Amino acid sequence: MRHRERGVTFLGWIVLLIPVALVLYAGIRLTPVYLEYMKIARTLEQVSEENQGETVDPRALRGAIEAHVRTVVGRYRGRIVAWDVVNEAVAEDGSGLRDTVFRQKLGESYLELALRTCVAWPSSASW
């Protein structure tokens, strides 16, 4: 009569480690996107606070959006699978768009500007 050993076999370890490896891989791939989102949200709040009651040139805002998109797309080209271009425009409670300095000065057309600028720059990511 053969004695059966108890415990996890090599194949069992492989089955257990594959989901862990997939979660870690997804976390590594998404971390730059999350950090960039936090940076953008903080920047939008700072710009809004700095420009309360002041006149901001819409051309300067358009230039800032285009420069930011070029910088981000260039930095992460080939390393990001997908982009969420204007997620910071949506209010945190999902009730509509945030009241940012971009929306106040450019209207909702700044969303189209950001999307068109992203599409114009070559990248391996999907939009």
In angstroms, the CA 12 to CA 8 distance is 6
Q: Kindly report whether the global pTM for this prediction surpasses the value 0.85.
A: no
| 45 — pLDDT class (breaks 50, 70, 90) | low
Span 14-39, pLDDT tens digits:
999 999 999 988 888 777 766 666 66
Which residues, 6 or more positions from 106, have their beta carbon under 8 angstroms from its beta carbon? 58, 61, 62, 113
| 41 — pLDDT class (breaks 50, 70, 90) | low
Domain-by-domain residue ranges, the chain?
10-120
The two three-digit tokens of residue 48, written as one number: 């809004």
Span 56-95, pLDDT tens digits:
677 877 887 778 777 877 777 777 777 776 777 788 787 8
The two three-digit tokens of residue 66, written as one number: 């285009």
The two three-digit tokens of residue 100, written as one number: 């940012």
